[in-house]
Structure 1
Amino acid sequence: MTLNDTISTLDGDATFGAYVAKPEGTPRAAILVIQEIFGVNPGIRQKCDKFAADGYLAIAPDLFWRLEPGITLDPDVEREFQTALDLMNRFDQDAGIRDIEATIHHIRQTHGVTKVGCVGYCLGGRLAYMTAARTDIDASVGYYGVGIDGLLGEKHAIAHPLMLHIPTADGFVSRETQAAMHEGLDDHPKVTLHDYEGLDHGFATEMGKRRDDAAATLADSRTAAFFEAHLV
Protein backbone atom coordinates (compact mmCIF):
# COMPACT_ATOMS: atom_id res chain seq x y z
CA MET A 1 0.00 0.00 0.00
CA THR A 2 1.02 3.63 -0.37
CA LEU A 3 1.71 5.39 2.91
CA ASN A 4 3.29 8.66 1.89
CA ASP A 5 3.50 10.57 5.16
CA THR A 6 4.98 9.94 8.61
CA ILE A 7 3.45 11.14 11.88
CA SER A 8 5.04 11.28 15.33
CA THR A 9 3.09 9.95 18.30
CA LEU A 10 2.02 12.41 20.98
CA ASP A 11 4.90 11.22 23.18
CA GLY A 12 7.35 11.54 20.30
CA ASP A 13 8.74 8.06 20.98
CA ALA A 14 7.57 6.45 17.72
CA THR A 15 6.18 7.22 14.28
CA PHE A 16 3.45 5.73 12.11
CA GLY A 17 2.48 6.02 8.48
CA ALA A 18 -0.43 7.75 6.79
CA TYR A 19 -1.86 8.21 3.33
CA VAL A 20 -2.15 11.84 2.25
CA ALA A 21 -4.02 13.22 -0.74
CA LYS A 22 -3.41 16.88 -1.54
CA PRO A 23 -5.64 19.23 -3.50
CA GLU A 24 -4.51 21.54 -6.23
CA GLY A 25 -3.59 24.85 -4.64
CA THR A 26 -4.19 25.86 -1.04
CA PRO A 27 -6.43 23.45 0.90
CA ARG A 28 -9.84 24.74 1.92
CA ALA A 29 -9.41 22.79 5.18
CA ALA A 30 -8.26 19.29 6.19
CA ILE A 31 -10.20 16.08 6.65
CA LEU A 32 -8.82 13.20 8.67
CA VAL A 33 -10.22 9.95 7.26
CA ILE A 34 -10.54 7.21 9.89
CA GLN A 35 -10.26 3.67 8.58
CA GLU A 36 -12.59 0.72 8.91
CA ILE A 37 -11.25 -2.52 10.37
CA PHE A 38 -9.66 -3.24 6.98
CA GLY A 39 -6.78 -0.80 7.32
CA VAL A 40 -5.92 2.05 4.98
CA ASN A 41 -7.10 -0.03 2.04
CA PRO A 42 -7.94 1.10 -1.53
CA GLY A 43 -11.43 2.22 -0.48
CA ILE A 44 -10.13 4.48 2.28
CA ARG A 45 -7.46 5.89 -0.02
CA GLN A 46 -10.17 6.58 -2.59
CA LYS A 47 -12.15 8.48 0.06
CA CYS A 48 -9.07 10.64 0.60
CA ASP A 49 -8.63 11.20 -3.13
CA LYS A 50 -12.25 12.34 -3.45
CA PHE A 51 -11.90 14.83 -0.61
CA ALA A 52 -8.70 16.15 -2.21
CA ALA A 53 -10.55 16.59 -5.50
CA ASP A 54 -13.03 18.75 -3.54
CA GLY A 55 -10.19 20.96 -2.33
CA TYR A 56 -9.37 19.43 1.05
CA LEU A 57 -6.11 18.08 2.38
CA ALA A 58 -7.10 14.50 3.26
CA ILE A 59 -5.08 12.19 5.48
CA ALA A 60 -5.76 8.62 6.65
CA PRO A 61 -3.47 7.49 9.49
CA ASP A 62 -2.55 3.81 9.78
CA LEU A 63 -4.20 3.13 13.14
CA PHE A 64 -3.29 -0.57 13.17
CA TRP A 65 0.45 0.18 13.08
CA ARG A 66 1.03 -1.25 16.54
CA LEU A 67 -0.52 -4.57 15.45
CA GLU A 68 0.41 -4.96 11.78
CA PRO A 69 1.73 -1.82 10.11
CA GLY A 70 0.60 -1.15 6.58
CA ILE A 71 -2.02 -3.89 6.47
CA THR A 72 -4.75 -3.56 3.85
CA LEU A 73 -7.67 -6.00 3.69
CA ASP A 74 -10.60 -6.76 1.40
CA PRO A 75 -13.93 -7.17 3.25
CA ASP A 76 -15.29 -9.32 0.42
CA VAL A 77 -12.64 -12.00 1.02
CA GLU A 78 -13.73 -14.14 3.98
CA ARG A 79 -10.23 -14.93 5.23
CA GLU A 80 -9.29 -11.26 5.16
CA PHE A 81 -12.57 -10.33 6.84
CA GLN A 82 -11.74 -12.68 9.71
CA THR A 83 -8.26 -11.16 9.97
CA ALA A 84 -9.89 -7.73 10.23
CA LEU A 85 -12.16 -8.90 13.06
CA ASP A 86 -9.14 -10.21 14.94
CA LEU A 87 -7.32 -6.89 14.51
CA MET A 88 -10.39 -5.00 15.73
CA ASN A 89 -10.59 -7.18 18.84
CA ARG A 90 -6.92 -6.54 19.64
CA PHE A 91 -6.96 -2.84 18.78
CA ASP A 92 -6.45 -0.38 21.66
CA GLN A 93 -9.04 2.30 20.94
CA ASP A 94 -7.70 4.74 23.51
CA ALA A 95 -4.27 4.54 21.87
CA GLY A 96 -6.00 4.99 18.53
CA ILE A 97 -7.60 8.23 19.70
CA ARG A 98 -4.19 9.47 20.82
CA ASP A 99 -2.86 8.67 17.35
CA ILE A 100 -5.79 10.58 15.83
CA GLU A 101 -4.95 13.52 18.10
CA ALA A 102 -1.32 13.29 16.96
CA THR A 103 -2.57 13.37 13.37
CA ILE A 104 -4.60 16.52 14.09
CA HIS A 105 -1.45 18.16 15.48
CA HIS A 106 0.53 16.96 12.46
CA ILE A 107 -2.00 18.48 10.06
CA ARG A 108 -1.91 21.83 11.81
CA GLN A 109 1.81 22.01 12.52
CA THR A 110 3.39 20.21 9.57
CA HIS A 111 0.87 20.81 6.80
CA GLY A 112 -0.16 24.24 8.10
CA VAL A 113 -3.92 23.67 7.84
CA THR A 114 -5.77 25.02 10.87
CA LYS A 115 -9.35 23.83 10.32
CA VAL A 116 -9.56 20.05 10.68
CA GLY A 117 -12.54 17.74 10.40
CA CYS A 118 -12.73 13.96 10.56
CA VAL A 119 -14.85 11.28 8.97
CA GLY A 120 -14.82 7.64 10.00
CA TYR A 121 -16.41 4.41 8.85
CA CYS A 122 -17.38 1.29 10.88
CA LEU A 123 -14.77 1.19 13.68
CA GLY A 124 -13.81 4.60 12.35
CA GLY A 125 -17.38 5.81 12.90
CA ARG A 126 -17.05 4.94 16.58
CA LEU A 127 -13.64 6.61 16.67
CA ALA A 128 -15.10 9.72 15.02
CA TYR A 129 -17.56 10.01 17.91
CA MET A 130 -14.71 9.53 20.40
CA THR A 131 -12.64 12.12 18.53
CA ALA A 132 -15.50 14.62 18.82
CA ALA A 133 -15.66 14.01 22.57
CA ARG A 134 -11.95 13.80 23.35
CA THR A 135 -10.13 16.22 21.02
CA ASP A 136 -10.49 19.74 19.65
CA ILE A 137 -11.44 18.55 16.14
CA ASP A 138 -13.57 21.20 14.39
CA ALA A 139 -16.22 18.87 12.93
CA SER A 140 -16.78 15.10 12.88
CA VAL A 141 -18.78 12.62 10.82
CA GLY A 142 -19.33 8.94 11.62
CA TYR A 143 -20.76 6.32 9.29
CA TYR A 144 -22.32 3.21 10.86
CA GLY A 145 -20.35 3.60 14.09
CA VAL A 146 -20.47 0.59 16.39
CA GLY A 147 -21.18 0.60 20.14
CA ILE A 148 -21.86 4.31 20.42
CA ASP A 149 -24.58 3.63 23.00
CA GLY A 150 -21.76 2.70 25.39
CA LEU A 151 -20.12 6.09 24.83
CA LEU A 152 -23.12 8.31 25.57
CA GLY A 153 -21.60 9.20 28.93
CA GLU A 154 -19.08 11.29 26.99
CA LYS A 155 -21.64 13.32 25.04
CA HIS A 156 -21.29 16.33 27.34
CA ALA A 157 -17.75 16.78 26.01
CA ILE A 158 -18.82 17.15 22.38
CA ALA A 159 -18.13 20.83 21.76
CA HIS A 160 -18.09 20.94 17.96
CA PRO A 161 -20.53 19.66 15.33
CA LEU A 162 -20.95 15.90 14.90
CA MET A 163 -23.01 14.06 12.28
CA LEU A 164 -23.80 10.34 12.43
CA HIS A 165 -25.12 8.20 9.56
CA ILE A 166 -27.15 5.24 10.86
CA PRO A 167 -28.37 2.38 8.61
CA THR A 168 -31.42 0.87 10.29
CA ALA A 169 -30.68 -2.74 9.23
CA ASP A 170 -27.06 -2.65 10.41
CA GLY A 171 -25.99 -6.17 11.30
CA PHE A 172 -23.47 -4.82 13.80
CA VAL A 173 -25.69 -2.18 15.44
CA SER A 174 -28.98 -3.43 16.84
CA ARG A 175 -32.26 -1.55 16.74
CA GLU A 176 -31.96 -1.18 20.51
CA THR A 177 -28.57 0.45 20.12
CA GLN A 178 -29.94 2.78 17.45
CA ALA A 179 -32.83 3.73 19.73
CA ALA A 180 -30.40 4.47 22.56
CA MET A 181 -28.37 6.70 20.24
CA HIS A 182 -31.46 8.68 19.30
CA GLU A 183 -32.64 8.94 22.89
CA GLY A 184 -29.23 10.10 24.06
CA LEU A 185 -28.30 12.42 21.19
CA ASP A 186 -31.40 13.78 19.44
CA ASP A 187 -31.57 16.78 21.76
CA HIS A 188 -27.80 17.47 21.72
CA PRO A 189 -27.28 20.91 20.12
CA LYS A 190 -24.09 19.82 18.34
CA VAL A 191 -25.22 16.42 17.03
CA THR A 192 -27.20 15.49 13.91
CA LEU A 193 -28.39 11.93 13.22
CA HIS A 194 -29.50 10.59 9.83
CA ASP A 195 -31.24 7.22 9.48
CA TYR A 196 -31.11 5.11 6.30
CA GLU A 197 -34.08 2.78 6.33
CA GLY A 198 -33.36 -0.82 5.44
CA LEU A 199 -29.67 -0.23 4.75
CA ASP A 200 -26.90 -2.40 6.19
CA HIS A 201 -23.44 -1.77 7.58
CA GLY A 202 -20.91 -0.54 5.03
CA PHE A 203 -23.42 0.94 2.58
CA ALA A 204 -21.14 3.90 1.77
CA THR A 205 -17.98 1.96 1.07
CA GLU A 206 -16.26 3.05 -2.13
CA MET A 207 -16.12 -0.41 -3.65
CA GLY A 208 -17.28 -3.96 -3.09
CA LYS A 209 -20.58 -5.74 -2.55
CA ARG A 210 -21.61 -3.77 0.57
CA ARG A 211 -22.09 -0.49 -1.32
CA ASP A 212 -25.52 0.98 -2.04
CA ASP A 213 -25.03 3.72 -4.62
CA ALA A 214 -28.14 5.76 -3.90
CA ALA A 215 -27.71 5.78 -0.12
CA ALA A 216 -23.97 6.38 -0.36
CA THR A 217 -24.54 9.35 -2.66
CA LEU A 218 -27.13 10.81 -0.28
CA ALA A 219 -24.97 10.32 2.82
CA ASP A 220 -21.86 11.67 1.13
CA SER A 221 -23.77 14.75 -0.08
CA ARG A 222 -24.86 15.41 3.50
CA THR A 223 -21.26 14.99 4.65
CA ALA A 224 -20.02 17.40 1.98
CA ALA A 225 -22.58 20.05 3.00
CA PHE A 226 -21.71 19.50 6.68
CA PHE A 227 -18.00 20.08 6.09
CA GLU A 228 -18.78 23.05 3.84
CA ALA A 229 -20.78 24.60 6.68
CA HIS A 230 -18.37 23.90 9.53
CA LEU A 231 -14.87 23.85 8.03
CA VAL A 232 -14.81 26.27 5.12
Structure 2
Amino acid sequence: MGQTISINTRHGRISAWHAKPHVTPKGALIVVQEIFGLNSHIRQVADRFANYGYVAIAPALFDLVHPGTTLDYDEAGVKRGREIVEELGFNGALDGVRGAFDYLEAEFKVGVVGYCWGGSVAFLANTRLGLPCVSYYGGRTVPLLKERPKAPMLLHFGQDDPLIPPEDVERHREALPAADIQVWPGAGHGFNCDQRADYNADVAQQALTRTLAFLQKALR
Protein backbone atom coordinates (compact mmCIF):
# COMPACT_ATOMS: atom_id res chain seq x y z
CA MET A 1 0.00 0.00 0.00
CA GLY A 2 2.73 2.47 0.96
CA GLN A 3 5.65 3.86 -0.96
CA THR A 4 9.01 5.44 -0.21
CA ILE A 5 9.17 9.22 -0.39
CA SER A 6 11.70 11.88 0.57
CA ILE A 7 11.00 14.56 3.17
CA ASN A 8 12.94 17.60 4.21
CA THR A 9 14.35 18.18 7.70
CA ARG A 10 16.43 20.96 9.19
CA HIS A 11 19.54 18.81 8.71
CA GLY A 12 18.89 17.45 5.23
CA ARG A 13 16.50 15.15 3.41
CA ILE A 14 15.58 11.70 4.67
CA SER A 15 13.46 8.89 3.28
CA ALA A 16 10.10 7.92 4.71
CA TRP A 17 7.36 5.36 4.18
CA HIS A 18 4.10 7.01 3.06
CA ALA A 19 0.83 5.06 3.27
CA LYS A 20 -2.52 6.50 2.14
CA PRO A 21 -6.02 5.22 2.86
CA HIS A 22 -8.53 4.41 0.12
CA VAL A 23 -11.15 6.56 1.83
CA THR A 24 -11.32 10.20 2.89
CA PRO A 25 -8.60 10.47 5.58
CA LYS A 26 -9.57 10.83 9.22
CA GLY A 27 -6.28 12.59 9.92
CA ALA A 28 -2.58 11.88 9.69
CA LEU A 29 -0.07 9.93 11.78
CA ILE A 30 3.68 10.03 12.13
CA VAL A 31 4.81 6.48 12.93
CA VAL A 32 8.08 6.44 14.89
CA GLN A 33 10.35 3.43 14.59
CA GLU A 34 12.01 1.24 17.20
CA ILE A 35 15.82 1.08 17.50
CA PHE A 36 15.85 -1.23 14.46
CA GLY A 37 15.25 1.45 11.84
CA LEU A 38 12.51 1.85 9.26
CA ASN A 39 12.12 -1.88 8.76
CA SER A 40 9.36 -4.06 7.35
CA HIS A 41 7.49 -4.12 10.67
CA ILE A 42 7.21 -0.34 10.90
CA ARG A 43 6.16 -0.13 7.25
CA GLN A 44 3.45 -2.69 7.99
CA VAL A 45 2.31 -0.64 10.98
CA ALA A 46 1.99 2.45 8.77
CA ASP A 47 0.07 0.43 6.17
CA ARG A 48 -2.26 -0.86 8.87
CA PHE A 49 -3.10 2.64 10.05
CA ALA A 50 -3.80 3.59 6.44
CA ASN A 51 -6.24 0.69 6.28
CA TYR A 52 -8.05 2.31 9.22
CA GLY A 53 -8.32 5.63 7.41
CA TYR A 54 -5.20 7.59 8.34
CA VAL A 55 -2.48 9.02 6.15
CA ALA A 56 0.68 7.60 7.74
CA ILE A 57 4.30 8.64 7.37
CA ALA A 58 7.12 6.70 9.01
CA PRO A 59 10.32 8.77 8.72
CA ALA A 60 13.63 6.90 8.43
CA LEU A 61 15.20 8.67 11.39
CA PHE A 62 18.51 6.83 11.09
CA ASP A 63 19.02 8.50 7.68
CA LEU A 64 20.25 11.60 9.50
CA VAL A 65 23.34 9.71 10.71
CA HIS A 66 23.45 6.31 8.92
CA PRO A 67 21.29 6.40 5.76
CA GLY A 68 19.41 3.25 4.82
CA THR A 69 20.19 1.35 8.03
CA THR A 70 17.78 -1.34 9.21
CA LEU A 71 18.63 -3.96 11.80
CA ASP A 72 17.56 -7.45 12.78
CA TYR A 73 15.75 -8.35 15.99
CA ASP A 74 18.78 -10.06 17.51
CA GLU A 75 21.57 -9.27 19.95
CA ALA A 76 23.72 -7.61 17.31
CA GLY A 77 20.77 -5.52 16.11
CA VAL A 78 19.99 -4.35 19.63
CA LYS A 79 23.62 -3.40 20.23
CA ARG A 80 23.95 -1.46 16.99
CA GLY A 81 20.53 0.15 17.37
CA ARG A 82 21.40 1.46 20.81
CA GLU A 83 24.62 2.92 19.43
CA ILE A 84 22.81 4.70 16.61
CA VAL A 85 20.05 6.19 18.76
CA GLU A 86 22.68 7.54 21.16
CA GLU A 87 24.49 9.11 18.21
CA LEU A 88 21.27 10.54 16.77
CA GLY A 89 19.87 11.73 20.10
CA PHE A 90 16.32 12.77 20.82
CA ASN A 91 16.88 16.16 19.18
CA GLY A 92 17.89 14.46 15.94
CA ALA A 93 14.88 12.16 16.12
CA LEU A 94 12.55 15.11 16.66
CA ASP A 95 14.09 16.79 13.64
CA GLY A 96 12.81 13.88 11.54
CA VAL A 97 9.40 14.02 13.22
CA ARG A 98 9.20 17.75 12.47
CA GLY A 99 9.99 17.01 8.85
CA ALA A 100 7.09 14.57 8.65
CA PHE A 101 4.82 17.05 10.43
CA ASP A 102 5.75 19.81 7.99
CA TYR A 103 4.88 17.45 5.12
CA LEU A 104 1.44 16.70 6.57
CA GLU A 105 0.18 19.62 8.59
CA ALA A 106 -1.14 21.80 5.77
CA GLU A 107 -3.84 19.21 5.00
CA PHE A 108 -4.42 17.23 8.18
CA LYS A 109 -4.53 17.26 11.93
CA VAL A 110 -1.47 15.20 12.91
CA GLY A 111 -0.76 12.73 15.70
CA VAL A 112 2.26 10.59 16.54
CA VAL A 113 2.47 6.86 17.36
CA GLY A 114 5.82 5.44 18.46
CA TYR A 115 7.19 2.08 19.53
CA CYS A 116 9.93 1.30 22.10
CA TRP A 117 12.55 4.05 21.62
CA GLY A 118 10.06 5.62 19.23
CA GLY A 119 7.50 5.65 22.04
CA SER A 120 9.73 8.01 23.97
CA VAL A 121 10.23 10.11 20.82
CA ALA A 122 6.43 10.26 20.50
CA PHE A 123 6.23 11.48 24.11
CA LEU A 124 8.63 14.31 23.27
CA ALA A 125 6.65 15.14 20.14
CA ASN A 126 3.77 15.77 22.54
CA THR A 127 5.65 17.79 25.18
CA ARG A 128 7.80 19.79 22.73
CA LEU A 129 5.77 19.96 19.52
CA GLY A 130 2.26 19.79 20.97
CA LEU A 131 1.14 16.71 19.01
CA PRO A 132 -1.31 14.11 20.34
CA CYS A 133 0.69 10.95 20.94
CA VAL A 134 0.44 7.23 21.51
CA SER A 135 3.51 5.62 23.07
CA TYR A 136 4.00 1.85 23.05
CA TYR A 137 6.43 0.58 25.74
CA GLY A 138 8.49 3.78 25.76
CA GLY A 139 10.94 2.83 28.48
CA ARG A 140 13.29 5.76 27.91
CA THR A 141 10.62 8.23 28.99
CA VAL A 142 11.33 8.03 32.73
CA PRO A 143 14.12 10.68 32.67
CA LEU A 144 11.81 12.93 30.63
CA LEU A 145 8.84 12.95 32.99
CA LYS A 146 9.43 16.51 34.18
CA GLU A 147 8.27 17.66 30.74
CA ARG A 148 4.59 18.63 30.59
CA PRO A 149 2.12 17.25 28.04
CA LYS A 150 0.72 19.75 25.55
CA ALA A 151 -1.85 17.44 23.94
CA PRO A 152 -3.76 14.21 24.67
CA MET A 153 -1.53 11.24 25.48
CA LEU A 154 -2.03 7.45 25.52
CA LEU A 155 0.67 5.15 26.88
CA HIS A 156 0.75 1.36 26.48
CA PHE A 157 2.86 -0.91 28.70
CA GLY A 158 3.15 -4.68 29.05
CA GLN A 159 2.62 -5.99 32.55
CA ASP A 160 5.43 -8.52 32.06
CA ASP A 161 7.91 -6.17 30.37
CA PRO A 162 11.35 -6.84 31.93
CA LEU A 163 12.69 -3.54 30.57
CA ILE A 164 9.94 -1.37 32.12
CA PRO A 165 9.32 -2.50 35.73
CA PRO A 166 6.08 -1.67 37.59
CA GLU A 167 7.76 1.13 39.52
CA ASP A 168 8.58 2.89 36.26
CA VAL A 169 4.98 2.60 35.12
CA GLU A 170 3.93 4.07 38.45
CA ARG A 171 6.29 7.01 37.89
CA HIS A 172 4.41 7.70 34.67
CA ARG A 173 1.08 7.63 36.52
CA GLU A 174 2.34 10.04 39.16
CA ALA A 175 3.88 12.47 36.66
CA LEU A 176 1.08 12.28 34.05
CA PRO A 177 -2.26 12.25 35.87
CA ALA A 178 -4.17 13.34 32.76
CA ALA A 179 -2.67 10.67 30.47
CA ASP A 180 -4.48 7.48 29.52
CA ILE A 181 -2.11 4.74 30.73
CA GLN A 182 -2.85 1.13 29.79
CA VAL A 183 -0.99 -1.82 31.33
CA TRP A 184 -1.71 -5.03 29.47
CA PRO A 185 -1.69 -8.37 31.37
CA GLY A 186 0.38 -11.12 29.80
CA ALA A 187 2.31 -8.71 27.60
CA GLY A 188 6.08 -8.30 27.45
CA HIS A 189 8.29 -5.78 25.69
CA GLY A 190 7.53 -5.41 21.99
CA PHE A 191 4.13 -7.13 22.24
CA ASN A 192 2.91 -5.29 19.13
CA CYS A 193 5.65 -6.62 16.83
CA ASP A 194 5.06 -9.96 15.12
CA GLN A 195 8.80 -10.28 14.44
CA ARG A 196 9.70 -10.32 18.13
CA ALA A 197 9.56 -13.16 20.65
CA ASP A 198 7.20 -11.21 22.93
CA TYR A 199 4.57 -10.68 20.24
CA ASN A 200 1.08 -11.12 21.66
CA ALA A 201 -1.57 -11.00 18.97
CA ASP A 202 -4.53 -10.66 21.34
CA VAL A 203 -2.99 -7.80 23.31
CA ALA A 204 -1.75 -6.12 20.13
CA GLN A 205 -5.32 -6.08 18.79
CA GLN A 206 -6.74 -4.79 22.07
CA ALA A 207 -4.12 -2.05 22.20
CA LEU A 208 -4.81 -1.14 18.57
CA THR A 209 -8.55 -0.85 19.30
CA ARG A 210 -7.76 1.47 22.20
CA THR A 211 -5.35 3.45 20.04
CA LEU A 212 -7.87 3.93 17.24
CA ALA A 213 -10.51 5.14 19.71
CA PHE A 214 -7.98 7.60 21.15
CA LEU A 215 -6.97 8.87 17.71
CA GLN A 216 -10.55 9.30 16.56
CA LYS A 217 -11.14 11.63 19.51
CA ALA A 218 -7.74 13.36 19.56
CA LEU A 219 -7.65 14.09 15.81
CA ARG A 220 -11.34 14.91 15.43
**Counterpart code for 1:4:** T
Two-structure CA RMSD over aligned residues (Å): 1.7
- Structure 1 partner of 2:197: 209
Q: What TM-score do you get using the length of structure 1 for normalisation?
A: 0.88
Question: Match of 1:99?
Answer: 96
Cα shift readout 1:88-117 (whole Å, capped 9, x = no counterpart): 3322111211221221111124xxx22111
Aligned residue type for 2:19: A
Check the 8 A contact 2:30/2:113 in 1, yes or no.
yes
State the identity as a percent. Answer: 33
Do structure 1's residue 86 and structure 2's residue 80 form an aligned pair? no
- Give the number of aligned pairs: 219
Whether the 8 Å CA contact 2:32–2:113 is kept in 1: the answer is: yes
Residues 3 and 70, structure 1, Cα contact 8 Å, conserved in 2: no
Match of 1:63 in 2: 61
In the TM superposition, 1:166-205 aligns within 5 A as 166-185=157-176, 187-188=177-178, 191-205=179-193
Decide which of 17, 20, 25 is 1:19's aligned counterpart.
17
- Give the counterpart letter for 2:100 in structure 1: T
**Aligned residue identity for 1:141:** V
User: How far did 1:26 drift?
Assistant: 3.1
Q: Secondary structure at the match of 1:5?
A: strand
1:126 equivalent in alignment to 2:123: no
Q: How many angstroms does 1:198 deviate by?
A: 4.0
Q: Which residue of 1 aligns with 2:152?
A: 161
Structure 1 range deviating more: 44-53 or 84-93: 84-93
1:25 Cα deviation from its structure 2 partner: 4.0
4+ residue stretches of structure 1 with deviation over 6 A?
none
CA distance in 1, matches of 2:96, 2:142: 23
Distance in 1, matches of 2:188 and 2:198, equals: 8
| Long gaps (5+) in structure 2 | none
Secondary structure of 1:181's counterpart equals: helix
- One-letter amino acid of the counterpart of residue 210, structure 1: D
Matches of 1:160 and 1:136, distance apart in 2: 6
Q: TM-score, normalised by structure 2?
A: 0.92
